[in-house]
Amino acid sequence: MHERIDPKDCIFCKIVRGEAPGHVVCEDERTLAFMDIFPVAEGHVLVIPKAHCTNLLDADPTDLEAVIVRARTIARAIRDALAPDGIGTFQLNGAAAGQTVFHYHLHLIPRQSGEKLEIHGRKPGRAERLAELAAQLSSAVAAEEAAGAVS
């Protein structure tokens, strides 16, 4: 698990800096959430710390806390907006575990009963649909925050 990447070359860091496109769901000073461009299911969101770290093992504990609290809010928004049967939360550490982007990230994947369990999609999502879902989930996140669901 020694995969390292320079933050200047990291695609997720580029999204944080606005140098690469991303369908942003929400952000705060420590985290950014955006649609996975290779979604396993409609509503597949990634939550990352804005500060670069490779994986769980080298992440700042404060960033980890911020990511999981943000993920809980987004999961509630996914539940309310998309009504899946469940929501998978996945985080992979190292290439051997299936990590493909070496910037810590948490997958939130809406799941329907009977679906095959997958973590990575094989084909890119349609940009228009990803933008629609990002806007829908962004509104649902705002509603969750307004209701005081975030502690």
Give the domain CATH number at 74: 3.30.428.10
Distance CA 72, CA 59 (A): 19
Which one has a higher pLDDT value, 70 or 4?
A: 70
**Is 5 within the bounds of a domain?**
no
Query: Quick one: pLDDT band at residue 2, thresholds 50, 70, 90?
Result: low
**Is 4 within the bounds of a domain?**
no
Please give the residue range of the domain that contains residue 37: 11-144
Residue 113 has pLDDT above 80, yes or no: yes
Active site residue 105: yes
**Is 26 within the bounds of a domain?**
yes
Which one has a higher pLDDT value, 118 or 3?
A: 118
Question: What 3-state class would DSSP assign to 61?
Answer: helix
Number of domains within the chain? 1
CB 69 within 8 A of CB 57: no
pLDDT tens per residue across span 131-151: 999 999 989 998 888 888 544
The residue annotated as part of the active site, out of 23, 103, 105, 107, is 105
Residue 116 has pLDDT above 60, yes or no: yes
**Is 119 within the bounds of a domain?**
yes
